[in-house]
Structure 1
């Protein structure tokens, strides 16, 4: 027995989290009604402040797990109240939601589980369908519990095992035909519903984020919002406040849900280089999808979807631009496998099916480009989330894996896109009867599976007349196909174009756009220069006739992997060409220590070093016969052609330079080879690379240090190699 003041002193100083949860249902039932009312009035504020306690959500979740763990193993499947899918799962989920959201919403202050559940649904904290299913299951389980206890007036929550007892229980619930089977079926169904909804609602990531907000922030008023925006560092609080008012004003369910989401989203936006852009992007997506039932449900209920969206919208221009062209792609962020890139085979299957369903070539390639835009968004979103990290998915620690994933995903996607454009162009002019076999060969980063977000598709085109077709007819058909593919892929649409670059073909811009296999053979046999052999190191078939592609590879292998390697004259030519490129191609005014492609220790330095090693030793070392830079470098190290420390230095610089280029494209929405000058943009690049605000100087120092070491290795291995 305690006095009222003693109770208050205890709760204020010593009470555990579970005790405030228990107090949620407190009401006077006997004795002095005035004292009872005074008690409830005194403890009520403590109950609704409990969610402010550190680790509150985690403590409640831990308590529920402890209850289940303490059930004897032989009883857990019969425990109607405490077991998985039982009454406690409903009550704990409802109470946790009440305590987290009830701090700022008095409509949730109810001691009745079903009344509180109804209020949660009306407030948008729980979906209507989920609430209805929870309500139905809870009523059924309670009815079962009451019927069990009424028999012989025993206080038990165990479902009987004896068939006669089960028959009696089933009949008491109105089941007549086969009471035992009907009872077991209904019980399993309702328990399964409760278990599923409990997991969905009780462990919702958004709950913990909402609980961590300061009092008054979880349902923002205009005044509170303004204060919070300034504190979070929004550059234009007035504009941000207008966005908030547009998103959350009114009495609609959409507005109610967004009033719950926004306080948390504001914090996630603020944890980026451009929170204003993140909030604006969210408003645009919500304006486009806000009346779509699944959209707000996705953000409220589906794991890390809300945080993923916040990261993507505030990380730069490219990903939001891709998303806003087709906002329904936001569903990718809530799918557990949504961030995983599609395989080349899957992409080609979808692209070719889209072409087959379309009427003309332009409609077909429009559909293909739509697929490409969606998959580019998938790749950029996954890259941003893995680089920034979220509460559910910490930032990835292996930059090389990030680069490889992006390079492979974009290269596979562009290859599938070319396959679709080729099929559409051929079908438009010849049906399925093109008079020449035709193949597209990827070159440069495309052939090396190293494309970035802003890369063009470097290619060669090769064809081979079919039997009985003249060279002139075959050549006309092949050139028409090439022209049509390029036109279709660059048509003005809302989707980003895919630019085809064929400048690496024999004789460059003055040479034929497409050649036969015999023509390539004749040219390479008589006229090929050493730089062309070097360029062919990354040639790989990407679309069209597979047999013809393999024949082209067989043709060029002796050129790119010459027996006994390169002669001294050829090595001098390569070195001379590299030195000339360094002096002539660097943009005027660019800082050579920060240019990712042509600068000191950048992509060019590393790639020319690796390619010289391939030209000299590829004939003898099978591991060097790859179009991928990192793979060739690792193979050269394994073969003892380059020391492990030097290989690590070159690899680190190549990965970093590639990530810088990807970051610039993500942030600015257009390609770039050097760090931006705009403060917000360079901060965003830093965040992508793992540098917190205030450490941008460290980022530039690290870049210069890493690439300086790579340049030293390059000068020794490339210019000093014999």
Structure 2
């Protein structure tokens, strides 16, 4: 017995030796085939019992059944001795439910219901209704059925017996289903049909209690909750709402009094003590005003309440209302009056937020001790699925009648078919819901009690696991496997609930009118005009192209666009944003992830709308790099890549490419990806200065490193050499050297080489020149990837000098000929690509020049001041006000950088903290060394940061990456508005940005004149 699986082996052995079961085993042997090994047939029966959910319970119940009714013992013996017959039905039912075993012991004749062949339990509701009404002697065909026998005379018990027999049939088919989870909808529908029939029979009993049978009132009973959705549990409160109307000529007050008496008596018939067990509680708490309101109201009273006082949750509850008993025509009138309110409820203020808050309250009220066992109310439980489905229905069902089902699984399927939920998400959520519901059913079936908690005992969990049967995900053979699947299901449900239930699209969609959601052309045109589109007719054409047709793409676009139109309008260029969205959707709409991500992501759709309506640069970048749209749904993808990560990605791409042009395109592609990543981050975070150092400069460094690698290999091959004749180095200068370049900056560099031992100096020089020119060509050639112009004009002798020099030549030049401006330029020098040892040697060479121990003399200071004045007078573009040029104008980048560099030249020889290529770090070091005041440092820093942000914002807003306008504060109203919005200014406050810049630049200019020209 122990090996077979019985927990109490000794008792099991005793039971098998009891007279009835011993006779059954003997009958098994007697009916065995002649060639069958003795004991095989009886062992097979024992094995069948041992495979029950609870073998000990099944065995005990069989023994009790055989002993309680000797007249039926022969029939039971015959059934149990036949392995091909219905004995598996009986064993499965008795092993899963002690309550069912007790019922059969008390009503042995009902065993025949268990032994019937399977035939489908979701029978015609009319047949079930007739069965229950006939049990109380009422005529099912009567317009107002009345019980022929009063409850006290036995009809109540007959009704309950009829109910239990029907329930037994449902449980049998459920417990013997090959796939209980697939069979679940039939079980839920059958239980709901049975509950509705019981309510009808109870109402017939209630009428029989009145002398006139309630002739003056029409009473309708509407099922709510799981009863209304035809997805009822075995044991659950049955939620109802009562509606009463006086019969023609009757007094309304009298009708309400009689209707209330009928409703109260109906509820008592279902739950009052009697010889047969009660069915369940009839719960009318969902009625207007809840338990504080009248039990029965007229239709007009219901409508008045819902129009004036109803809360959000009451409309959510009404979604599942359906007729279950009483006057069907009155129920039809009730539903016709209230259904429009249900589908208009989402337009109420804070509807979505109220629904979400209600779910959180339900969750918070779960006792902590039960939280990990709650199948229904806890995190990842049934309520998560139900609330998710209902909220999606209420928000989108205003304009889409196809998703208005009261049944959770059917509603989920229709939401998926209409594109509101992804197919994979819907399938996953449905599978989880079926598993949780079957789990809940099995827990309740054991003692036929209302509970939603997993058992705590090992035996209880084992029985529950074994009762689950087979399912598409495999067997659940033991308690550990059950608990693992339970926890995994909770996690999956919770993840999907949070993804779907808290979509930003939901409150935004709910805030729109039905016409706006439906994209009705007239309403859409009026809305577009009202929220700031310059060309509503053009916008409507884009909308039509995106939404027309019956494809899934068009269906999802019809969900997205009503909300995204508003998000586009929050940017400075809604028309441009919508046009860019159309182009991007035409490019990506056929991919499996694009529209799905926009619909399901917590932030992607709103982010995309913000980007497209705010930045032509980002819009163009996304068209070139459409896969970057996927980053918007994952914050990790928007995080700048480290230099190490960029180097690894570049190395991997170069290893796969032999052609220099292809390799260069790969390097430039990586740079474009990072610029796109940085631009997205800038637009979404109001253009922070840190992007220069975090994204733009590292991307340029990576491009130069890749170009050096390609160019050296190319030059060596073109010259027919076996190895590189020289070491090569690229030194970053200017803003690149300070890691401060913007989206429109060139790459200022110096090229250095050092011939290897034994190499021919001329050949090494020719090779180095070819490398340098190849680098400039690879990165600057026009093509599908953005160019990075390489500028070496800061080299010794400027354009007149050689493009590349040996390190010895640099040393000789700087020793003999270095001028003040060259010392100044070297302050930003930073080794960026090529030979590391050569970079260290070059840095050691220039450090004494740029950080002179004794500072610079008066002559050099005068020369620096002369050059600065000449730059201001000669290089400022004609027609551009000096106050508006961000680089060369008064208080612009040049003023701040020259001031910082002047302080470095004068003091870096003795103040090591000034030895940095970064402008802001140099200013901070000068302040800390008391070379400038805190106020002066603050003014200079503010001007530099604002100018840098403005230059980047101009590029991001306009999409221009070259030309004089990149460095000029826009004067045209539209462009200034776009730039100001990127910097965080509210709409209509563009001139505030101009005033802020003029003030900041003026303060910086005062400091510059005091420090530099002082």
Per the shorter chain, which TM-score range?
over 0.9
Q: Does 1:420 align with 2:706?
A: yes
CA deviation after TM superposition for structure 1 residue 192, in Å? 2.4
CA deviation after TM superposition for structure 1 residue 520, in Å? 0.6
Q: After the TM superposition, which of the residue ranges 289-298 and 44-53 deviates more from structure 2? A: 44-53
Looking at structure 2, the residues matched to 370 and 239 of structure 1 have their Cα atoms a distance apart, in angstroms, of 34
Superposition pairs for residues 440-459 of structure 1, below 5 Å?
440-459=730-749
CA deviation after TM superposition for structure 1 residue 216, in Å? 1.8
Looking at structure 2, the residues matched to 183 and 608 of structure 1 have their Cα atoms a distance apart, in angstroms, of 72
Deviations 1:503-560 (A, max 9, x none): 0000000101011111111101100001110111111011111111111111111111
Please name the residue that 2:428 is paired with: 133
Task: State whether residues 780 and 790 of structure 2, in contact with CA within 8 Å, keep that contact through their aligned partners in structure 1.
Answer: no
Please name the residue that 2:674 is paired with: 375
Looking at structure 2, the residues matched to 68 and 31 of structure 1 have their Cα atoms a distance apart, in angstroms, of 35
Superposition pairs for residues 538-577 of structure 1, below 5 Å?
538-577=828-867
Task: Specify the SS of the correspondent of 1:541.
Answer: strand
Looking at structure 2, the residues matched to 544 and 301 of structure 1 have their Cα atoms a distance apart, in angstroms, of 46
Q: After the TM superposition, which of the residue ranges 65-74 and 174-183 deviates more from structure 2? A: 174-183
Please name the residue that 1:578 is paired with: 868
CA deviation after TM superposition for structure 1 residue 121, in Å? 0.4
Distance 1:214 1:638, change over 3 A: farther
TM-score (norm 1): 0.96
Looking at structure 1, the residues matched to 543 and 323 of structure 2 have their Cα atoms a distance apart, in angstroms, of 42
Distance 1:177 1:679, change over 3 A: closer
Please name the residue that 2:645 is paired with: 346
Task: State whether residues 407 and 452 of structure 1, in contact with CA within 8 Å, keep that contact through their aligned partners in structure 2.
Answer: no
Superposition pairs for residues 189-338 of structure 1, below 5 Å?
189-338=488-637
Q: Does 1:16 align with 2:311?
A: yes
Task: Specify the SS of the correspondent of 1:473.
Answer: helix
Of residues 720, 723, 727, the one that matches 1:433 is 723
Q: How many residues align?
A: 707
Looking at structure 2, the residues matched to 667 and 204 of structure 1 have their Cα atoms a distance apart, in angstroms, of 29
Of residues 342, 346, 349, the one that matches 1:54 is 349
Of residues 775, 779, 792, the one that matches 1:485 is 775
Please name the residue that 1:688 is paired with: 982
CA deviation after TM superposition for structure 1 residue 71, in Å? 1.2
Q: Does 1:603 align with 2:893?
A: yes
Q: Does 1:706 align with 2:1009?
A: no
Of residues 936, 940, 944, the one that matches 1:650 is 940
RMSD after superposition: 1.5
CA deviation after TM superposition for structure 1 residue 697, in Å? 2.1
Please name the residue that 2:455 is paired with: 160
CA deviation after TM superposition for structure 1 residue 37, in Å? 1.9
Q: After the TM superposition, which of the residue ranges 404-413 and 427-436 deviates more from structure 2? A: 427-436
Please name the residue that 1:621 is paired with: 911
Task: State whether residues 408 and 451 of structure 1, in contact with CA within 8 Å, keep that contact through their aligned partners in structure 2.
Answer: no
Task: Specify the SS of the correspondent of 1:218.
Answer: helix
Please name the residue that 1:391 is paired with: none
* CA radius of gyration, larger in: 2
Of residues 793, 809, 823, the one that matches 1:519 is 809
Task: State whether residues 360 and 428 of structure 1, in contact with CA within 8 Å, keep that contact through their aligned partners in structure 2.
Answer: no
**Relative CO higher for 1 or 2, CA cutoff 8 Å, sep ≥ 6?**
1
Distance 1:378 1:480, change over 3 A: same
Please name the residue that 1:496 is paired with: 786
Task: State whether residues 692 and 739 of structure 2, in contact with CA within 8 Å, keep that contact through their aligned partners in structure 1.
Answer: no
Superposition pairs for residues 15-94 of structure 1, below 5 Å?
15-94=310-389
TM-score (norm 2): 0.68
Deviations 1:61-114 (A, max 9, x none): 122122122111111111011111111010011011111111221112121111
CA deviation after TM superposition for structure 1 residue 239, in Å? 1.7
Task: Specify the SS of the correspondent of 2:831.
Answer: strand
Task: State whether residues 355 and 423 of structure 1, in contact with CA within 8 Å, keep that contact through their aligned partners in structure 2.
Answer: no
Please name the residue that 1:392 is paired with: none
| Structure 2: runs of 5 or more not aligned | 1-294
Q: After the TM superposition, which of the residue ranges 363-372 and 502-511 deviates more from structure 2? A: 363-372
CA deviation after TM superposition for structure 1 residue 14, in Å? 2.5
Task: State whether residues 525 and 540 of structure 2, in contact with CA within 8 Å, keep that contact through their aligned partners in structure 1.
Answer: yes
Task: Specify the SS of the correspondent of 1:439.
Answer: strand
Looking at structure 1, the residues matched to 927 and 891 of structure 2 have their Cα atoms a distance apart, in angstroms, of 19
Looking at structure 1, the residues matched to 994 and 882 of structure 2 have their Cα atoms a distance apart, in angstroms, of 13
Task: Specify the SS of the correspondent of 2:753.
Answer: strand
Deviations 1:149-171 (A, max 9, x none): 11111000001122222222222
Task: Specify the SS of the correspondent of 1:314.
Answer: helix
Looking at structure 2, the residues matched to 335 and 472 of structure 1 have their Cα atoms a distance apart, in angstroms, of 54
Task: Specify the SS of the correspondent of 2:741.
Answer: coil
Task: Specify the SS of the correspondent of 1:620.
Answer: coil
Please name the residue that 2:818 is paired with: 528
Q: After the TM superposition, which of the residue ranges 6-15 and 110-119 deviates more from structure 2? A: 6-15
Task: Specify the SS of the correspondent of 1:293.
Answer: coil
| Structure 1: runs of 5 or more not aligned | 388-398
CA deviation after TM superposition for structure 1 residue 374, in Å? 1.4
Of residues 145, 154, 171, the one that matches 2:440 is 145
Task: State whether residues 408 and 450 of structure 1, in contact with CA within 8 Å, keep that contact through their aligned partners in structure 2.
Answer: no
Looking at structure 2, the residues matched to 257 and 177 of structure 1 have their Cα atoms a distance apart, in angstroms, of 38
Task: Specify the SS of the correspondent of 2:638.
Answer: coil
Q: Does 1:102 align with 2:392?
A: no
Looking at structure 2, the residues matched to 186 and 340 of structure 1 have their Cα atoms a distance apart, in angstroms, of 35
Task: Specify the SS of the correspondent of 1:49.
Answer: helix
Task: State whether residues 462 and 479 of structure 2, in contact with CA within 8 Å, keep that contact through their aligned partners in structure 1.
Answer: yes
Deviations 1:623-646 (A, max 9, x none): 211111111111111111111111
CA deviation after TM superposition for structure 1 residue 317, in Å? 2.0
CA deviation after TM superposition for structure 1 residue 616, in Å? 0.7
Deviations 1:215-250 (A, max 9, x none): 321231233322222222212222211111111100
CA deviation after TM superposition for structure 1 residue 177, in Å? 7.8
Q: Does 1:123 align with 2:413?
A: no
